[in-house]
Structure 1
Amino acid sequence: MSKRTARIVRQVGAPRLIASALVLLIGVLVARFSWEVPLISDAERALYDFRLMLTTDRAEQDPRILLVTYTDDTLINTQVRSPLDRKILADALRNLDKMGAKAIAIDIIVDQPTPNDDYLVDAFRSMKTPTYLAFTSAATNGRFIEQRQEDFLRDFQSKIRTTAVHPTSIEIETDNDGVVRNWPKQPKTLPPLLARAVTGAADNFDDYHRGVRFRLPAYQDRPVFSKLPIDLIANPDTAALMTDQVKGRYVLIGGDLLDLDLFETPMKKITGERTIGLEVHATMLAQLLDGVQYSGIPPGSTWAVALLVIIAGTLTALLDARPWRMAVLMVGQAIFFVALPFYLQWHGIDTQYLPAFGWGIGWLLAYSSVGATARAVGSQQRRFAQSALGKYLPRDIASEILRDPDRLALHGEKREIFVVFTDLEGFTKLSHAIEPEMVAFLLNKYLDTLSETVLRYGGTIDKFVGDAVVAFWGAPISRPDDGERAARAAWAMYEAGEAFRKDVPEGVPAIGRTRVGLHWGEAIVGNFGGEGRIQYTALGDSMNTAARLESANKPLNTKVLASRAAVERSGLDWWRPLGRITLRGRSTPVEIFEPVPESTAEERAYLAKLLERIDAGDESAFDELESLALTNVRDAALANLVYRLQHIEPGGSYDLG
């Protein structure tokens, strides 16, 4: 490998090497700082959430925590929505105080007056159970509370403060994408966070700001935290029945309301639902009670792995090995770099800010940049020849070019070619009526089918324009039977389109016909696009004429249209004439023909003779043509011919405008 590397350095030259070095540097930076790069950071968060889901424990119902919630039924029963009814809260607190709760935390902001405030104050002041009421400030939560609300809240807190009643912070921190992943930072201006407050001395969590340990229920019908509506607790008769579910537990009171205080968590990808804020606090409380803290990523390790990734991609690109060995090596590297974050997360290391997606991008940048530099060692002609092979050239032409790359011109040259242009009727409208995945499936299948047809008849695929296929015969290598190949391919592409439209999945609306245009003429053929983006293509009026012939099928009710120039050089006798038209944007009339392989030579000759007589001004010939059209009522193209001839002078041309 060292000899190969030395050869590359000599042959590539300094500019390309400098460019490769810059790409490698970018790869290192992306592999290290991908969490800070827009868009890439979104992918990193998605991967982190995926890792978290796969490594999340399935838990039995937690016997230490009970959620008591205002529900939408509570709002209906109390006929109070905002602020939440405080009388029912006061009644619930009085009952809970008798039921032996270990501690009570209330995730409700009392930030404006209601008629029941004195009743609630009396309830708080009578509490013997440690009780914590939510507090926040305009400085830390300005989107949801104003200074006047904070002032009211502070005054209310001072009224209820006893040795058993205290304020608690209910801050929940979300990332830039609105998802809760971490414990919030603890501002000095706020009281202890709810989870820390209700447990008392929990100093080891004071500075914890890493991942929340989410859990999933072991059984679908038993959530991780049991939940009771506040209505049951507020009613003395039903509350007495709930004593066993309250005694010795941390009771968290808050809302479980539609579209209120809901948060997205990584678990949404599994549950499909957002999580109420009260349950987020319960999750953090359970994590604190279990003493589970994720470890951070060791300092400097991200730099080390980023460099390792770039080295791996570089060495892989330079390795001269058999394909199966290269495949094994690349798969092995992929498994290692993909599995490492999962391994770390599984073993208690918080892999947030671990640039796992950035590793992949860095590896690809290193591999592609060094590989491109290595592949640059070779002849320009060989590279051009290779770029035209594969799916765009038939096999015999590709073989000739490989033997003699000079056959594929590196510049434009004038050639006489047969051009075929196709279009799938109504596909753009159809694409708006079905799912994007189905659009991609149908379009790829359709283009594959038509591409195979072109190559089977020895054509060169020029380009795809949406659902349109452009192909030509006569370049880069011409053959004596190019005209026949092109004509048969044009008809075969129409038939392939008919087979395709009959074989679509259920539920897909009807697909239109494939329309085809065929023309022969001069074009400039060669490689165009510049050194950085090269395409072997044809340019010129013949390409435009073929495209306009394809478009003319729609107003003329035809399927395949060919110009006289193409017909005369096709070597086939299956054509019937359809008069003269002036294509859109053109001034020179074109004689057009349609392939009718199913008709007899006598039928085609009879129609050609009728048109000659009509051009000569023979009115009886027009009557015969009308009679022929009436006899063949399903022949829409023939009926259209009669219509056009009615609107032009003998020997004239119908203008498609």
Structure 2
Amino acid sequence: MKKQLPRILAGSALVLLSLLYAAGLLPLRFLHQLELWSYDHRLTMTMPETRDDRIVIVDIDEKSLAEVGRWPWSRNVVARMVDQLFDRYQVAVVGFDVVFAEPDTSSGIRQLEQLARGPLRKNEAFRRELARVRDTLDYDALLASRFRNRPVVLGYYFVGEAQGARTAGVLPAPAISRERATAAVRGIAGKHGYGANIPVLQKAAGLGGHFNPDPDHDGVTRRVPMLQEYKGSYYESLSLAVLRAMFGLPELLPGTPPGAPDVLEWLQVADLRIPVDGRASALIPYRGSQGSFPYISAADILKGRVKKEQLEGAIVLVGTTAPGLMDLRSTPVSAVYAGVEIHATMIAGILDQTIRHAPGYARGAELATLALGGLVLSLLLPFLGPLASLGVTVTVLLVAGGVNWLAWRSGLVLPLASQMVLFPVLYAFNASYGFLVESRSRRQITGLFGQYVPPEIVGVMSRDPEHFTMEPESREMTVLFTDVVGFTGISEKLTPKELAQFMNEYLSAMTAIIYEYGGTVDKYIGDAIMAFWGAPLHDPDHALHAVQAATAMRRRMASLSREMAERGYPDLQIGVGINSGPMRVGNMGSSYRVAYTVMGDAVNLASRLEGLTRQYGIWLIAGQETKNRINGFAWRELDLVRVKGKDQPVAIFEPCGDEAALEKEYLNDITAFNEMVHAYRLQQWDQAEGMLQHLAAGRPDRGLYALYRDRIRQYRLKPPATSWDGVCTFTIK
């Protein structure tokens, strides 16, 4: 006993660490991630993989955008779709997984009213005609009339403290008011702002539900918050609101276990119980991969191309799977999953009572299992031989895993990862103790180490261990984003084999140029490339090298496009965004995978600039910080913009090349354009428009000139506010 006491104490210490983790006193990120992975694995193993026709998703898909037009659609179109759903197809309830955040002015009603108050105020015929058609042109009122007295639920979202206390639109009535809130729900974390629907629509619909996801730290959505607190009131999720609308708005009741009135364990709607955790979040009972519910294109609804029996009596959710509308989530069943189907899954789970519960006593069960199994192994393994130790450990694992599996099958989610790690670790510790401590043989230690660590890593660690670190650092760097313009259309015209060959040739050619100019390829994202300059080796000219690389990439694209054209491939163009500034660089990632990458606001801005190339008809856009770091270049100032995710405006530029090497006429055009931009910001419309006409005479097809002409034309009709700062705000990425 005395001889084995160190092993017993060491094993007990491991058990104590696991107990501290299970009690929430010792955060161990890798164990938490492993727990999430074990949950995902159990979920995917037991999914029914069936389709539920009770809930239908009306999809604003690529087909709908092509037939009807880009989103958002005019409200009269949405009103027509609502009429089709209720009158023609006789659906039970409609929930919108979209927000109608701004008034619809597409009918021109505001412009007509301005004319009636201004130049045509004395034209009685015009004013009479406007009064006659006003109701038909007020598309918001038209849509509101279609919502009224129908079971319609509008979606909205809350924002947390990081996004500030900004509000837009109007919230519906809370599911649980401040006066009805019990101690059980008062522990729900609050939100600081929201983005909701305009008042006329929300008032007409009456009911609304938030569609906030509740992703875990790895970005995967496994839960939905059924309630969110805002200023003392509690607002329900979209799925819950849709069900309540269908059942005639029964009262929502919080449920608590006996003797614990301040512990929230479920929500009650009619005779349906929804298991939730202390944050009022419910686990999503995924049925299978995306497509577990019927999808019908919104265009087919509008044009009546759907059979009535497909929709009659159905619960309808209106949402989108179009990638450009950004309602895709990472889930345990798929890395890309439509957010609207998550709401459909929750509705089906509530109706079928298949939502699993992670009760408050799950932590107690985990502590008991760890303590009992851990102490048994700590006390027995030091006295057993290798085979007996293995047999005891396997037995303990099977018992613990079997109990966990039975609980899972009955609808309870008990922690698993800590047990599956602790028990093998105790076995591995005892099995290796003789090698690591008793034999004290360097050769044996090296041999054991080599079984678990790749030889390359061992070699690096042994040669230069002080530099083998995963700690990121802050540097001044330049980052570049590029992708192929219209890649989706190109890929649709190619066979899978041709697409693979095209991607290999394109990425290889672009990567070679990045390497030639001293850059580092961060990652490939489909047809997109992310690269940076200034790490791992310091590069004082990182901004210049990035711009030079971009210019070389465009030249190579021209020759590559000609080569592809000979094989019948479409014409190829790229968009490039470049930005410089402070960034965090180093090995970053999870306990399963790390990557040498960069992060920071400057990186995010470069990605946004690449997306703006389509807006301005420019293949390359660089930020102000990149321009400031390059001398001797000619720059065309494109605009002052406020991109999504940033409050401060930034100046964006087109690098035109080495000033000394450019022709005088081209330099004059650049200077003239920059002067035009200056006049535009001073609201000197005549002067700016005259400069544009002169510039367009040489390049009538240039989209940048047309963009500014359209802006000036709009501002002539509707002058900007006195506080206008010349900034163009973009709300999409």
TM-score (norm 2): 0.45
Please identify the structure whose Cα radius of gyration is greater.
Answer: 1
The structure with higher relative contact order (CA 8 Å, sep 6+) is: 1
TM-score (norm 1): 0.50
